[in-house]
Structure 1
Amino acid sequence: MKAEAFAELLGAEFYTGVPDSQLRPLCDYLMDTLGTDPRRHVIAANEGNAAALAAGYHLATGKTPAVYLQNSGEGNLINPAASLLHRQVYGIPVIFVVGWRGEPGVHDEPQHIYQGAVTRRLLDDLEIPSFVLGPETPEEEARRAMEDFRPLLAAGGSAAFIIRKGGLTYGKKTVYQNRHTMSREEAIRRIAAAAGEKAVFVSTTGKASRELFELREGWGQGHGRDFLTVGSMGHASSIALGAALHRPEARVWCLDGDGALLMHMGAMAVIGQAGPGNLVHVVLNNAAHESVGGMPTAAGGLDLPEIARACGYPRALAAETPEALEAALAEIAERRELCLLEVRCAIGAREDLGRPTTGPQENKRAFMENLKRLADGR
C-alpha cells in the first residue's frame, strides 16, 4: 500500500514516534510532507515519550493522533498505554503503526526473534486490537479495518496497524545528511586503536556495533573485548556503567549513539552520580536515526558535553575532525576519570557493511571471559 494512501486512510493530523526501517516509506513521506513542524510531526526520544505527546495532543484538540514505532519499542510503550491511555484510566485514543521485525517465519536478526513472536500478544494484553498490513493486503481490507476501529477510537480505545516488510511503499527515498565529514567508522577505528589492548567496549545497537565487529575482524583480534548491544536501544551506557563499577581494573569504553542516548537520557545523571573513573562514554553523534533510514534526532542542536558536566561528569570533550579526535583521545589517556566524548560524525556507512557472525550468547561468554582475564591480571 502506498504511504500516501495509508496516511489518508488513518486521517491523523498529528504524528509522533520513533523511526523504523519497516516504516521507512511512511517516515519518508511524513518528512517530505510535514517535515519536523512540531505542531504536526515530532520525532520522539522514545516510544513512551511519543505516547505521552499523543495524549497531550488529544487533550488539546479532541482528535486522534498516530504513533509510529518498531515493535521492539512496545516495551517503552507499555507503561503509558496501560496507565495513561487505557479506557480504565483516561481513555485517550491513539492509532499505533507498528513495524513488525522478527515476524515468525521471516528471517531476522537475533534480537528481533522473541520480540517478533510476542508482538501481537503484547498488543492483545494491552487490549489494543490490531490489523496486519502486508505487501499482498488489498487496500480495501485496510480501509475496512480502519472503519471497524473508528467506534473503538471514539469510545477512548486504541488500535494498531502492524506493518509487515514491504507492506508500505513510497515513490522516492528521502536523503538525509549533515555538515560533518568524519565517518563514524573512521572515528571508531581511531578510538579503538587509542584505547589499547586492555580496554573493553560496550557498543550500542545499530551500525556502530557492526562497524566495531568488522574492525576487529580486519585486525584479527577476536571479539572478546567487545559487548555488542544488538537490542535494548538506549541501554548500552547503563550496561557499561555496571561493568565499570564491578571491574574497576578495566578501562570501559561505551560507544553510544545520539538516538540511543536520547532514548534513555536519564542514565547520564546516574552515571555522573556514580562517577566511575574507568568509564569513557563516547557519543557518536550524527543527529540521525541512521540504522533505520536517517530521520533526524534532537541531538543536532544539543551541547552534549555541557549536559554531561551538568550530570556530574568531571570531564567532557567534543571533536568533529580526525585531528580534534586524536587530541581528545590523548587527553583522555592522560587521566583516569569519568569522561564524555562527543564525536560529531557524517551520516552514512559502507554499502558492504556486514553484520556480526557470532551470536549474542557467544558474544556474552567471550566478553565475560575477557573481563575475568583482566581481573586476574592476565
Structure 2
Amino acid sequence: MKVQSLVEIIGADFYTGVPDSQLKALCNYLMDTYGIDPHHHIIAANEGNCTALAAGYHLATGKVPVVYMQNSGEGNIINPLASLLNDKVYAIPMIFIVGWRGEPGIHDEPQHIYQGEVTTKLLEDMGVDYFVIGQDTTDDEVKAAMEKFRGRLDKGLDVALVIRKGALTDAPKVKYCNNNTMVREDIIKHIVAASGEDPIISTTGKASRELFETRVTNDQSHKYDFLTVGSMGHSSSIALGVALNKPNQRIWCVDGDGAVLMHMGSMAVLGANKPANLIHIVINNGAHETVGGMPTVASQIDLVAIAKACGYPNAVCVDSFDTLDRELENAKSRKELSLIEVKCSIGAREDLGRPTTTALENKQNFMEYINTL
C-alpha cells in the first residue's frame, strides 16, 4: 500500500522511532513531511527511549502516538511495555509499527532469523494486538484493522502494525548527506593497516561488511575480527569483555554513531574500568546509514567530551586521514584506554558484499585465534 495512505489511515500527528530498512518508505515520508520536528517526528536513540518519549507525549496531550522500529527493537520495548504502558500500570495507548525482518520463509541475514520467528509471539506475550501488512493488503483492510484497534486504544491498550518486506510503496526520495569527506570503507582500511594482527570487534551494519571485504582485498584471514552482525549498540561492551580477559593483547573496537547512541551507558562502564589495552573508534557520519541514511543526533553532540566525562583517559576527534593515522599510532603507543571519533561521509559502494562465512564460523575462528594470544 502507499505509505501516505497508511499515515492517513492511522491519523496520528506524532511519530518517534529508530529507522529500519523495511520501513524506509515510512521513514522517508516522515523526513520529507516533517524532517526532525519535536512536535511531529523525533528519531530516538533506541526503541525503549522512543517508547518512553511517546508516553510523555500521551501524558501531555492525551493523544495516541506512533512508535516505529525494526523487529530487533522489540527487546528494547519489553520493559516499558510491561511496566509503564500496560493497562495494569498506567494504561498508556500506543501504536507500534514494526518492520518484520527475518519473516519465516523470506531469506534474510542470520541476525534476523530467530527474531523473525518470534516477532509476533513477543507481541502476543506482551498483550499487543497486531495486524500484518503485506504487498497485497488493501487500504480497506487496514482501515478495518484500525477501527478495531480504536476500541483497544480507548481502553489504554497497545497495538501494532507489522510490516512485511515490500509492503509500503510510493516513498518520496530523500537525499541524506553531510559535509564530511572521509569515506567509511577507506577509514576501515586505515584501521586494519594500523591494527596489524590485533583482534577487532566491529559493530553491526555496513562497517562489519566493509571490514570483511577489506580482509578479502588484502588476502588476510577473517580470524582477527568478530563481526557483531546483530545486537546494535553492544560491540564496545563485547570488546570490553574481551579486553579485560586478554590484558596483554591490544583490542580494537570499530563502532558507529547510531550504535553508540543506542546504549551510551556502555561508555560509562568502559570509562570506569579503563582497560589499558582497548582502542575504541567511533565512525561518526551522523546517520543510520545501513538502514537508509536517516539522521542520528550524533552530529549535534560532543562525543569526545562525553568520553572524557565517562572516564576515558584519552579522546580525540579527527576529520582527515593524516590525523587519523597519527592518532591511531598515538593510541597504540600510549597503552591507555583511548577513543578516536572519526568524522565520516554518508555513502557506501553499491556492490558492497556481505560476509560469506556464517556467524558461528566467525565466532569459532575468532575464539581459536584469540586463545593463541
Large movers: runs of 4+ above 2 Å: 170-173
**Distance in 2, Cα, partners of 1:190 & 1:64:** 48
1:129-179 residue CA offsets vs partner (Å, 9 max, x unmatched):
110001111111011000000000011001000000111112432110000
Letter in 2 for 1:36: I
Partner of 2:119: 119
Partner of 2:244: 245
**Distance in 2, Cα, partners of 1:290 & 1:77:** 23
Partner of 1:200: 199
Letter in 2 for 1:164: R
1:212-245 residue CA offsets vs partner (Å, 9 max, x unmatched):
0000111111111100000000000000000000
Please report the TM-score for the alignment, with normalisation by the length of structure 1: 0.98
Partner of 2:154: 154
**Distance in 2, Cα, partners of 1:96 & 1:27:** 14
**Distance in 1, Cα, partners of 2:249 & 2:184:** 24
Q: Are positions 1:362 and 2:358 aligned together?
A: no
Partner of 1:43: 43
- Secondary structure of 1:224's counterpart equals helix
Partner of 1:264: 263
1:39 Cα offset (Å): 1.5
Q: Are positions 1:7 and 2:7 aligned together?
A: yes
Gaps of 5+ in 1: none
**Distance in 1, Cα, partners of 2:242 & 2:282:** 18
Letter in 2 for 1:203: S
Letter in 2 for 1:187: I
1:110-147 residue CA offsets vs partner (Å, 9 max, x unmatched):
00000000000000000001100011111110110000
- Secondary structure of 1:273's counterpart equals helix
Alpha carbons 1:17, 1:46 under 8 Å: kept: yes
**Distance in 1, Cα, partners of 2:171 & 2:94:** 27
Partner of 1:216: 215
1:349 Cα offset (Å): 0.3
1:293-313 residue CA offsets vs partner (Å, 9 max, x unmatched):
000001001111111000000
Alpha carbons 1:204, 1:257 under 8 Å: kept: yes
**Distance in 1, Cα, partners of 2:241 & 2:333:** 24
1:230-275 residue CA offsets vs partner (Å, 9 max, x unmatched):
0000000000000000011221110000000000000000000000
Alpha carbons 2:133, 2:161 under 8 Å: kept: yes
Gaps of 5+ in 2: none
**Distance in 2, Cα, partners of 1:301 & 1:327:** 25
The farther-off stretch of 313-322 and 164-173 is 164-173
Partner of 1:228: 227
RMSD after superposition: 0.7
**Distance in 2, Cα, partners of 1:65 & 1:235:** 28
Partner of 1:26: 26
Q: Are positions 1:283 and 2:273 aligned together?
A: no
Percent identity over the alignment?
A: 61
Partner of 1:301: 300
Letter in 1 for 2:238: I
Please report the TM-score for the alignment, with normalisation by the length of structure 2: 0.99
The farther-off stretch of 96-105 and 134-143 is 134-143
Partner of 1:95: 95
Partner of 2:166: 166
**Distance in 1, Cα, partners of 2:319 & 2:173:** 27
Partner of 2:311: 312
Partner of 2:72: 72
